Structure formats: structure tokens, C-alpha cells
Amino acid sequence: MPLFYHVQLRAFRVAGNALAFTALIFIAASVWPASPLLAMLLALVAYDQLEDLLGVEPSGRLRYLDIGYELLCAAVGAVLALFGLTYFNYFYAPFHLAVLLTGLAVVAASLYDLYQDVKVVLAVVERGVLGQGYWERG
């Protein structure tokens, strides 16, 4: 792939993560009076978007925890997108459009991070564990 494509993809990911982080903070603040637990969950998902924005990569055993965390973030993003889509059809409010776009950005970022984590884990298993003979008897 040309270098220009990678630069565009990186710029798109940074812009999407920044938008999702900011919107999730505002959504969490707006839901805090009704449901503090949901607001904390949204703040955790916002933290994941900030991690992606800053380029933080887990290492070692934390990668397995990150895979579960990305699955949780993808599920929350899907629920946000469904919520935004459901209410946008009735009210046509900018808030619900922002929630829909935020949910889609969270799902896209989480699935991309999940793909990267699984790719690294498979490479480590293929190179590190199976290459050293831990799974062989003899």
C-alpha cells in the first residue's frame, strides 16, 4: 500500500478517536444524574478512545485483558449506535446524531484494535510458544 494511504488512515483514526473521546465525555456527563454506573462505563470507554488517540499499546499478559476490554467497548459502542439510531428516527436531534456517530466510531476503533491485538497474540504464539516446543511431547 502506498504511504499516503497509511497517513490518511492514521489521520482518520486520530480524528475519529478524538471525536469519540470528546463526545463520550459529554454523554457521560449528561447521563450522570440519571445513572452514575452508566456514566462510569461510558468514561471507561472514553479512556479507551484516549488510549487509542495517544497510541498506548499493551504488552505481555495485559494484551489478553485488552482483548476483553475491546470487546466490552465494541458492545457499548453498538448499544450507543442503536440508541442514537432509534431516537434519531423520531426526534431528528443533533444529540442523537452525535450519539449515533460516536457509537459507530467506537465500534470501528474497537474492532480495529481487537484485530491488531489478536494479530499480535497469534504471532507471539506462532513464534514464541510453538517455536520453543512447549506444546510438543518428546
CA 121 to chain centre: 18
- Summarised one tens digit per residue, pLDDT across range 28-61 is 999 999 999 999 999 999 998 998 888 888 877 7
Q: CA torsion, points 127, 133, 134, 136, in degrees to nearest 10?
A: 130
- Summarised one tens digit per residue, pLDDT across range 70-90 is 999 999 999 999 999 998 888
Phi, psi at 109, each rounded to 5°: -65, -40
- Summarised one tens digit per residue, pLDDT across range 12-27 is 888 888 989 999 999 9
Q: What is the residue type of 51?
A: E
Angle separating helix axes 94-124 and 36-54, nearest 10 degrees: 60
This prediction's pTM: 0.80
Evaluate if residue 136 carries a pLDDT over 60: no
- Summarised one tens digit per residue, pLDDT across range 87-134 is 888 888 888 888 899 999 999 999 999 998 898 888 887 776 544 444
Give the pLDDT band of residue 2 (cuts 50, 70, 90): low
Supply the pLDDT for residue 12. Answer: 83
Give residue limits of the domains in the chain. Answer: 3-132
- State the residue for C-alpha cell 459529554: 26
